[in-house]
Amino acid sequence: MSQNILEIENLEFGYSHEKKIFNNFSLTLKRGEIKAIVGPSGVGKSTLFELILGRLKPQKGTIQVAALSQVFQDPYSSFHPTYTIREQIKDVVSIDGYENLLFQMGLEESHLDTLPHKLSGGQLQRCSILRALLMKPQLLLLDEPTSALDNLNQLDIMKLIVEHLDGMGVLLITHDQNLAQWCANEIVVLT
């Protein structure tokens, strides 16, 4: 896969043979880059992530991807309701050395020992981002990661993600053109 952490070549996919969502679509992403995927609802942004994650199979073309983690738009669907945040993070990654990152995310130690439904949407989304960053992925998939956050927290969290770019690349789905223009090396518009 050379130095790319994501290579999509000549992707073809559709839920029916009559209408293709992707036709001869290609994209590469290197470590240290952020690429934003933008476009109206229903054009295939989330479908692209499902293809990258291997949950859907391309009809043609190839997808090669490095070790990844993801943050989805709805943080409540990202956590099991009956286990604490700490238990769920420890299920997938060591939390050694998490304290500084926890502080940078604006979270408190007590948040980790809480059940998901007892946190606000913004707190839970920051926990989801915390878990993804602790996994130290080569590729981080972000699907509207800041939509549950207020404007000040949005900027702080995106700055924190940008600070971690030396070890990873980011593919970001967003409806927020200003966010895409602020952080992305390239904006890919799906129509």
Going from the first residue of the chain to its last (191 residues), give the mean pLDDT of each consecutive group of 10, the final group possibly shorter.
86 90 96 94 92 96 96 90 96 89 92 96 92 94 85 84 88 90 94 87
Whole-number pLDDT of residue 2? 52
Structure tokens at 47: 């479908």
Q: What does the domain layout of the chain look like in residue ranges?
A: 4-80+138-189
Edge-to-edge strands, sheet with 60-65 = 22-30, 4-13, 60-65
CATH class name, domain 4-80+138-189? alpha beta
Whole-number pLDDT of residue 175? 85
Q: Is 109 helix (H, G, I), strand (E, B) or coil?
A: helix
pTM, 2 dp: 0.91
Residue 160 CB partners (closer than 8 Å, separation 6+): 104, 105, 133
Whole-number pLDDT of residue 90? 95
Cα–Cα distance, 61 to 4 (Å, whole number): 17
Whole-number pLDDT of residue 1? 45
